[in-house]
Amino acid sequence: MIKIKGYRRPNGKVGIRNHLLLLPTVVCANQVVNRIQQQVPGSVAIPHQHGCSQVGEDKERTHKVLVGMGKNPNVGAVLVVSLGCEVMNAEQIRDEIIAETGKPVIWIDIQDEGGSVNTIKKGTEITKELSQRIQSIPHEDVSLSELIVGVKCGGSDATSGLCSNPVLGRTSDMIIKQGGSIVMGETTEIIGAEHILAKKAVNEHVKNKLYDSISQFEKEIERMGVDMRGGNPSPGNIEGGLSSIEEKSLGCISKAGTAPLQGVVDYASEIPGKGFYFMDSPGNDIECVSGMAAAGIQLVCFTTGRGTPTGNPIVPVIKISGNEIMAKRMADNIDVDTSPVLQGKESIQQAGERILNEIVNIASGQQTKAEILGHQEFSISRIGISL
Amino acid sequence: MELKEKSFGEGISCIVMNINDNVVTLLRSVKSGEELTTTIEDKIITITAKENVGFGHKLALKKIEKGEIISKYGESIGVATASIEKGEHVHVHNLVGIRGRGDL
């Protein structure tokens, strides 16, 4: 049984980071949150554009993502900062995080505190105290089976489908064999390959949910009356040799490995069991990784051929390449280069083991390239208009 | 779909993912007139590039008729919008996807 280091939360879940999260409920609170973050090194802020003028499912989704970020086991404590008149219900966000995790969560409100300066001052004091509190949480040996790993590809080129995704698929199999879980997202990027994924579904219900999620995306493309090519595959994907969404998708799906598909979950929804799950999400890198973080995954393995710096505020993102030229040119962004497989110098199994070793090191505290460089991209997928 | 360990040989110039494919993917940029050799399931395939084509892009493995399905990984990646000669570049100028086509 492979061991990693982690932080056990009051609800029993295990994080591989011990973040102090500063959570604005609405775009209007971003600046206050950013100022507090600057005062307390080690805290992380998740400024975003949403939280007001939203209704229905769209509002529910933003709420779910914000609560999910707070609930993620990589987070030790949360400061919620609201404005006071927004659509998001800050009190409810705080209460849900506390009820489901038992973590310390404190809420302050800009209108109640009497403006930005007062809120920054109070928020800084609270954040300092929370920071001291979470320092005492032990960093202990835990099993790799505690890990839920997101697998994602972005900035793909032909090497993604030929090399880095099949190699990551081998790693995915190893993680599942160790008792861990794998989550793949990107509904748009299984279009044309869904029949292969559907064969892995454990039952008809899972299979139908998979097909339904794809059909919803395709209906939206029909409504817009466009060819999705140019948006996905993107101009960079096309320059890298990918000619259609089908080609991209067929290269994408191998990163999940060979395990049966246990279930399909909605965007930012908690993963209900062990093994391989699919999360209905856009292919957009940041929206997908943010949705995975809100679903409670603790680590993302992210393959890229064109090269991307993508990180996340609370989840380490390991960048994996199959393109030797890019891996050298963008060495400060790439954690693992699997291109020796394409050159016949290494087997898929050997490269898959290299990724697994990197996962163990990163999960145990070593920083990813994205963490070292401070990449903390965060974006919530919207499904409605702003009112 | 399963990628076989033996698919990759040291220094190979291109790869066929499945025996039923009609395209080959380049592992390095090639010049017009260059002769390339690869293997799939122990079958040796030789192909002459008809134009300069970049790393990661595809060449037709055989003559592909207009309207014919283009296959990679043993699966459809779209259809040919023109007749494509063996060794010609296969990309967005002569291949269209069938899926995600709200424009049709």
* Residue-range domains of chain B with CATH: 12-96 (2.30.130.110)
Q: Does the distance separating the beta carbons of B76 and A246 come in below 8 Å?
A: yes
- Which carries the bigger pLDDT value, residue B8 or residue A187? A187
The pLDDT of residue A207 is 98
What would you measure as the largest C-alpha separation in chain B, in angstroms? 44
Q: How far is residue B89's CA from residue B53's CA, in Å, rounded to a whole number?
A: 7
3-state DSSP call for residue A33?
Answer: helix
CATH tag for A19-136 (out of 1.10.3470, 1.20.950, 3.30.70, 3.40.50): 3.40.50
* Whole-number pLDDT of residue B7: 47
Strand ranges across the sheet with B89-90: B14-15, B23-26, B58-60, B89-90
Chain A residue with the nearest C-alpha to that of B98: A246
d(CA A161, CA A163): 6
Taking an 8 Å cut-off on Cβ atoms, the answer to whether B57 and A244 are in contact is no
Interface contact flag, A228 B102, Cβ < 8 Å? yes
Residues of B in contact with A244 (CB under 8 A): 77-78, 92, 95-99
CB atoms within 10 A of CB A1: 7
Q: What is the pLDDT at residue B42?
A: 87
Rounded Cα–Cα distance for residues B64 and B76 (Å): 13
Q: Distances in Å between the alpha carbon of A204 and those of A184, A198, A267?
A: 19, 9, 21
Helix residue ranges, H only, A102-203: 110-113, 116-135, 158-159, 165-177, 194-198
* Higher-confidence position of B9 and A128: A128
Residue B9 confidence (pLDDT): 63
CB A222 within 8 A of CB B104: no
Angle between helices A116-135 and A30-39 (to 10 degrees): 50
Q: Is the ipTM of this complex over 0.90?
A: yes
CA nearest to B9 within chain A = A344
Chain A CB contacts of B97 under 8 Å are 192, 227-229, 243-247
Nearest Cα residue in chain B from A217: B100
Sequence spans of domains, chain A:
19-136, 143-372
Q: What pLDDT, on a 0 to 100 scale, did the predictor assign at position B10?
A: 67
Say whether the peptide bond before residue A233 is cis (omega within 30 degrees of 0): yes
pLDDT in tens, chain A (387 residues): 899 999 999 999 999 999 999 999 999 999 999 999 999 999 999 999 999 999 999 999 999 999 999 999 999 999 999 999 999 999 999 999 999 999 999 999 999 999 999 999 999 999 999 999 999 999 999 999 999 999 999 999 999 999 999 999 999 999 999 999 999 999 999 999 999 999 999 999 999 999 999 999 999 999 999 999 989 999 999 999 999 999 999 999 999 999 999 999 999 999 999 999 999 999 999 999 999 999 999 999 999 999 999 999 999 999 999 999 999 999 999 999 999 999 889 999 999 999 999 999 999 999 999 999 999 999 999 998 898
Task: Say yes or no to pLDDT of B5 above 50.
Answer: no
Chain A residues whose beta carbon lies within 8 Å of the beta carbon of residue B8 = 341-344
* Shortest alpha-carbon distance between residue A283 and chain B (Å): 13
Model confidence at B3: pLDDT above 60: no
- Residues 29-48, chain B, touching A (beta carbon < 8 A): none
Nearest-CA distance from B1 to chain A in Å? 8
* CB < 8 Å to A351, chain B: none
- pLDDT recorded at residue A170: 98
**Which pLDDT band holds residue B8 (cuts at 50, 70, 90)?**
low
Q: Which of A116, A283, A305 is nearest to A191 (CA)?
A: A283
Q: CA A34 to CA A16: how far, in whole Å?
A: 24
CB A302 within 8 A of CB A154: yes
CA B64 to chain centre: 11
d(CA A323, CA A336): 11
Distances (CA, A) of A338 to A54, A258, A327, A328, A373: 43, 19, 9, 12, 22
Strands B95-96 and B75-80, by their bridges, are: antiparallel
Tell me if chain A has a CB within 8 Å of the CB of B91. Answer: yes
C-alpha to C-alpha distance for A14 and A274, rounded to whole angstroms = 14
List, for residues A296-351, the tens digit of each pLDDT value: 999 999 999 999 999 999 999 999 999 999 999 999 999 999 999 998 899 999 99
Measured CA to CA, the distance from residue A323 to residue B73 in angstroms comes to 19
Q: Which two tokens stand for residue B73?
A: 């990984």
pLDDT of residue B1 exceeding 70: no
- Asked if B8 and A343 touch (Cβ cutoff 8 Å), the reply is yes
A349–B73: do the CB atoms touch at under 8 Å? Answer: no
pLDDT at B54: 95
Q: What pLDDT does A293 receive? A: 98
- Cα A165 to Cα A188: distance, rounded to the nearest angstrom: 17
Closest alpha carbon within chain A to B53: A241
d(CA A31, CA A37): 10
Alpha carbon distance B101, A224 (integer Å):
10
CB-CB under 8 Å, A192 with B97: yes
